[in-house]
Amino acid sequence: MTDDEDTDDFSAIEARIEALAEIAERCRKFILASKLAIAGGFALLLVVILGLFGAGLSTALGSIALVLGGIVSLGSNISTLRETEADISDAEAMRSELIGGMGLRLVHDAPTKLM
């Protein structure tokens, strides 16, 4: 391989890692939102069960829907996050392999001239 091909491969791997990191961060945000939805749904259901604030049947159904939707979203985003983290690990391994195969040389400090 030439230096240009190595640089292009390295750039492509870095771009992939960056894109995957953005996906992982987005999944983490959705996971947090899902957990909040589940907690909010349970709190609302508790309000309905205790009969506080005059909440009715439609509020109970809404709270159950909120809990179920949060659970589904949580599960989906956790599995996507795991897959994305595995892809990031694979891309980092490819990057390490590419760096290892470049045949880089150590550059020693050159003696300094005193003026």
Closest CA to 45 of 57, 30, 29, 60: 60
**C-beta separation of 17 from 91 below 8 A:** yes
Per-residue pLDDT of the chain (115 residues; tens, 9 = 90+): 556 676 788 889 999 999 999 999 999 999 999 999 999 999 988 888 888 777 788 888 999 999 999 999 999 999 999 999 999 999 999 988 888 777 667 777 656 666 6
Q: Tell me, what's the pLDDT at 33? A: 96
In a domain, residue 36? The reply is yes
In a domain, residue 68? The reply is yes
Q: Tell me, what's the pLDDT at 29? A: 97
The pTM for the full model equals 0.75
Q: Tell me, what's the pLDDT at 6? A: 66
The domain tally of the chain equals 1
User: Which domain does 36 fall in, by range?
Assistant: 3-99
HSE of 97, CA atoms in CB hemisphere, 13 A? 8
